[in-house]
Amino acid sequence: MERGTMDTALATRAGWTTLIDDIVAGRWTNPETGELASVPYETIVIEESLDGAEADLVAGLRLGERFTVVTDTNSWDAMGDRVATALRRLGPVETVVLDHPHADMANAEDLRQTLHGADAVVAVGSGTINDLVKFVTGQAGKRYAVFGTAASMNGYTSTTASITLDSGLKVSLPSQGPAGFFVDLGVSARAPRHLSAAGFADCLVRSVAQVDWWMSHRLLSTLYSTVPYIIQEKDEAELNARAAGIATGDIAANGYLHRVLTLCGLGVSFTGMSNHGSMGEHQISHYIDCFAGADHPGTLHGQQVGVATLSMARLQRHFLDSETAPVIRPTRIDPADMARRMGPDIAAQCFAELKGKVFDDEGAARINEKFAALWPTLRAELNAFALPVAEMERLLSDAGGAMTAADLGLPVARYREAVIHSREMRNRYSFLDVAADAGILEDFAAGEA
């Protein structure tokens, strides 16, 4: 038996939720605290087929006696109709089929009114549907379940929701995880390939996000946790070995993809933040979503993250290839230019957010002193986390992911603007900040396409 076939058979016999079950049930010991895990989920089921099991899965959650299925037009065809039909043996079922919704406050308010008085809410879909339903039900104090239809992002098991505010700023808002998260791998494998490729890109992030987060921890003493990386380490290797299967709809590749995405989402429960999988590369994608305007090609967040991940890998390599420690200057931020690009309200909000990483002469001197003292050790630590750039490029290409701004359909000038200015959006300290304060970010961005 070939290795890939053998691994698939072993994974299937052991179950796609091995380790996940232990974490959800509180049987897994957190190595940092020595205490048993505690996460806000009741059940996570990933199977090669859930056909015929939908009603039993939902019934076990005891969400209520009247069911409202929330989906969109594409997800209705993929699985929504099937779930709604199955639930009718449990009780009355209403369906809410949204037409190309966006995860913003306006759509959330519309959905809140639609679900007013709803009893048991079941979402069927991927990123947008899950974010909207988890946010709205979380605000209303209602539990919900979700059938994921594509491995397009890691937010199914995250306790935050990515929502665009009325101002146009996209943020992660406190929300809730689903009581039940259910994946039919056959449905996921049949989803449009760019959806799974986007999810794969969200996993490929681990390397650059860990480099950014550890660097921030060592320099600024920000919180850092190894737990999110420990729980997904083995599955990340298995997923990367099957990257080409993402592009062909391979069941095993999609199984490992869902495992890594699920474990990454569970990591938020241990830290209360998403830093382990969202640093400089996500800021670039958020900037595109918020400020590309009419130039936005309609690409998924994960597709943009993949391109940005490669940019961050190249930027980090610029520093890690040098035996000489980075040297920064006082931070230069132009609030007037921020207001021009972002609008005055968003610019003011972002400026307040980034103040903690703006260094004056004294602050820059402190950072330079730390860099000089730490660099031989820090450089070795960061290199241990980093995947080679060429390997990351190969993996993303094999998975069918977008590699450049041109692949996204985004004007190169817009992408370079995002690389230069996305650090202004959040207080998370990354190598974007180091490069900007070292005076090289604009020249670096000019070479990114």
Sequential DSSP letters for 178-192: -SEEEEEHHHHHHS-
Do the domain assignments include residue 293? yes
Query: Based on the domain organization, do 305 and 259 belong to the same domain?
Result: no
CA distance linking residue 234 with residue 18, whole number of Å: 12
Q: Give residue 400's domain range.
A: 275-446
Query: Based on the domain organization, do 381 and 398 belong to the same domain?
Result: yes
Query: Based on the domain organization, do 122 and 182 belong to the same domain?
Result: yes
Query: Based on the domain organization, do 230 and 300 belong to the same domain?
Result: no
Do the domain assignments include residue 5? no
Do the domain assignments include residue 198? no
Do the domain assignments include residue 196? no
What CATH number does the domain containing 51 carry?
3.40.50.1970
Query: Based on the domain organization, do 260 and 390 belong to the same domain?
Result: no
Query: Based on the domain organization, do 258 and 294 belong to the same domain?
Result: no
What CATH number does the domain containing 438 carry?
1.20.1090
Query: Based on the domain organization, do 176 and 65 belong to the same domain?
Result: yes
Contact call for residues 291 and 342 (beta carbons, < 8 A): yes
Query: Based on the domain organization, do 288 and 267 belong to the same domain?
Result: no
pLDDT at 171: 85
- Nearest residue to 267 (alpha-carbon basis) of 258, 276, 279: 276
Q: What tens-digit pLDDT sequence spans the chain (449 residues)?
A: 343 443 444 444 348 999 999 999 999 999 999 999 998 889 999 999 999 999 999 999 999 999 999 999 999 999 999 999 999 999 999 999 999 999 999 999 999 999 999 999 999 999 999 999 999 999 999 999 999 999 998 888 888 898 999 988 888 898 898 999 999 999 999 999 999 999 999 999 999 999 999 999 999 999 999 999 999 999 999 999 999 999 999 999 999 999 999 999 999 889 988 999 999 999 999 999 999 999 999 999 999 999 999 999 999 999 999 999 999 999 999 999 999 999 999 999 999 999 999 999 999 999 999 999 999 999 999 999 999 999 999 999 999 999 999 999 999 999 999 999 999 999 999 999 999 999 999 999 999 99
Query: Based on the domain organization, do 263 and 411 belong to the same domain?
Result: no
Query: Based on the domain organization, do 328 and 254 belong to the same domain?
Result: no
Task: Give the distance from CA 328 to its chain's centroid.
Answer: 30
Do the domain assignments include residue 154? yes
Query: Based on the domain organization, do 79 and 98 belong to the same domain?
Result: yes
Q: Looking up tokens 């590309």, which residue turns up?
A: 292
CA distance linking residue 160 with residue 174, whole number of Å: 5
Specify the amino acid at residue 273. M
Query: Based on the domain organization, do 230 and 330 belong to the same domain?
Result: no
CA distance linking residue 386 with residue 384, whole number of Å: 6
Do the domain assignments include residue 163? yes
Do the domain assignments include residue 115? yes
Total domains, the chain: 2
CA distance linking residue 124 with residue 130, whole number of Å: 8
Do the domain assignments include residue 84? yes
